[in-house]
Amino acid sequence: MGTLLIILRKEFRGFFQSPFGWILLSLVTVMQGWSVSSAMKALQDAPIPESLVYIVFHMPQFWFYFLALFPLITMRLFAEEERAGTLETLLTAPVQTAQLVLGKYLATLCFYLVLWIPSFLQFQIFGLLTDLDPPFSTGSLGGVFLLIVLMGSLFIAIGTFASSLTSSQIIAGVITVGLLFIHYFLGYITVIYGDQFPAASLFHHISASEHLRDFSRGLISSSTIIYYLSAAAFVLFMTHHALNYRRWKS
């Protein structure tokens, strides 16, 4: 546990010891502010039977920068270590592979959560700035941010796995983007082809847009929570085996 915490602290500090972490934090805050502004304008232009929270996180620009975020924060995790020649040293050191994987993964997850603090506060200060009742419920806000955490846990695991496969950050980023967009668009299979085929329920189960709709209404599904956490655990298990193979080769 001590080794894991050392790795976690080192990796987490690394995000803020360069301009990268601060620039990314600023970009996410600005982009999220843009989404909130666009959603409020949409509410003013026409009545929409959904909460402000749902509209903000359902807008196309949100999904664009949200999915682009993960390769940026994960592509360097192992690829940079291999490029710099330090991965072999780590793999031959008396450090368990599981500690190495979990330390880097949890540090990235913590950084990811920090990125969303300003966005969460944007909704909290809505009433203070407008002196109006916010057009969303606490359950809606809490549900959506829980989903943001759950999706992040899986998508960061996917990026970590991609980074463990190559020494090129660009290739790791491309693999991550490809896998995330495949996952996202699989959720629209039933929209395109309807529900009249045997695997339709599976595609409904992995649909991020359907999860967003339900969680934004305060409808927290235990099966959705289990899906994201178990899928993240499986991908981390694959990462563990990929690094063990490299350890065996070295």
Rg (CA), the chain: 19
Nearest-angstrom CA–CA distance, 42 and 46: 6
Reply yes or no on whether the pLDDT at 223 is more than 80. Answer: yes
More confident position, 225 or 221: 225
Q: Is residue 235 a contact partner of residue 154, using CB atoms and an 8 Å limit?
A: yes
Handedness of CA 94, 165, 211, 197 (dihedral sign): negative
The residue among 64, 55, 70 whose CA lies nearest residue 115 is 70
Q: How far is CA 34 from CA 37, 51, 103, 119, in A?
A: 5, 17, 33, 11
pLDDT of 149: 94
Reply yes or no on whether the pLDDT at 57 is more than 70. Answer: yes
| Residue 238 pLDDT class (50, 70, 90 cuts) | very high
pLDDT of 92: 66
More confident position, 227 or 185: 227
For the chain, domain boundaries: 2-249
Reply yes or no on whether the pLDDT at 59 is more than 60. Answer: yes
Reply yes or no on whether the pLDDT at 9 is more than 80. Answer: yes
Reply yes or no on whether the pLDDT at 140 is more than 70. Answer: yes
Nearest-angstrom CA–CA distance, 54 and 19: 32
What's the average model confidence in pLDDT over 118-123?
Answer: 80
pLDDT of 136: 61
Contacts with 104 (C-beta within 8 Å, 6 or more apart), sequence order: 7, 11, 77, 78, 160
The residue among 14, 1, 165 whose CA lies nearest residue 99 is 1
